[in-house]
Amino acid sequence: MRQAGGIMRMAAGAMCALGVLLASCAPRTPPEAMTPSPEPQYGGELNVATVYATLSALSWDPADWVWKQNHDTGAVRELLLSADLSKARSRGGPHAFTMDVFVPRDALRGELAESWEWEDPLTLVMRLRRGVFFPEKPGLMKRRELDAEDVVYSFDYVRASPRAQPTMMGFLDRVEARDSHTVVFHLRDYNNEWDYRLGYGYYNAILPREMAGADARDWRNVTGTGPFSVSRYVSASVQTYAANRDYWDSEEIAQKTYRLPFVDSVNYRIIKDEATLLSALRTGKLDIAEIVRWINVPQLKETTPELQWNRWLAPQGTLIALRVDRPPLDNRLVRRALNIAVNKQEIVRVYYGGEAEVMAFPQLPDFGPYFQPLGEMPASVQELFVYDPEKARQLLAEAGLPDGFELNIQVCSCTSDQMDLLPLIVSYWEKIGVRARIQPMEYAAFLSAMTTRTHAEAYIMNTGHVTPLSSLRKNFQTGQVWNPSQWSDPDFDRRIDEAFRMRNEADTIAAVRSMTAEIIDKAPYVWLPTPYLYTAWWPWVRNYGGEVRAGAVRPGPIYARIWIDHDMKRRMGFE
Q: Report the C-alpha gap between 16 and 25 in whole angstroms.
A: 6
- Are residues 296 and 367 part of one domain? no
- Are residues 542 and 430 part of one domain? no
- Are residues 436 and 555 part of one domain? no
- Are residues 340 and 236 part of one domain? no
- Are residues 344 and 294 part of one domain? no
Of 547, 564, 40, the C-alpha closest to 253 is 40
Identify the CATH number of the domain in which residue 271 sits: 3.40.190.10
pLDDT at 9: 40
| Phi-psi group of 49: left, alpha or beta (phi > 0 → left; psi -120 to 50 → alpha; rest → beta) | beta
- Are residues 395 and 359 part of one domain? yes
- Are residues 335 and 385 part of one domain? yes
Q: How many CB atoms lie within 10 A of CB 505?
A: 12
Segment 57-113, tens digit of pLDDT: 999 999 999 999 999 999 999 999 999 999 999 999 999 999 999 999 999 999 999
Identify the CATH number of the domain in which residue 334 sits: 3.10.105.10
- Are residues 26 and 174 part of one domain? yes
How many domains does one find in the chain?
A: 2
Q: Report the C-alpha gap between 452 and 435 in whole angstroms.
A: 26
Report the percentage of the chain scoring pLDDT > 70. Answer: 94
Segment 266-324, tens digit of pLDDT: 999 999 999 999 999 999 999 999 999 999 999 999 999 999 999 999 999 999 999 99
- Are residues 509 and 458 part of one domain? yes
Q: Report the C-alpha gap between 525 and 320 in whole angstroms.
A: 5
SS3 90: helix
Confidence of residue 415 (pLDDT cuts 50, 70, 90): confident
Type and span of the H or E element at 47: strand 45-49
pLDDT at 249: 98
Type and span of the H or E element at 459: strand 458-464
pLDDT of residue 413 exceeding 70, the answer is: yes
- Are residues 386 and 246 part of one domain? no
Q: Report the C-alpha gap between 35 and 126 in whole angstroms.
A: 44
- Are residues 149 and 42 part of one domain? yes
Domain that holds residue 241: 4-307+538-571
Output 16 or 57, whichever has higher pLDDT.
57
pLDDT of residue 10 exceeding 60, the answer is: no
The pTM assigned to this predicted structure is 0.89
Q: Report the C-alpha gap between 51 and 415 in whole angstroms.
A: 12
Segment 453-473, tens digit of pLDDT: 999 999 999 998 999 999 999
Contacts of 444 (CB under 8 A, 6+ apart): none
CB 83 within 8 A of CB 551: yes
- Are residues 498 and 424 part of one domain? yes
Segment 22-52, tens digit of pLDDT: 333 444 566 667 777 779 999 999 999 999 9
| Phi-psi group of 538: left, alpha or beta (phi > 0 → left; psi -120 to 50 → alpha; rest → beta) | beta
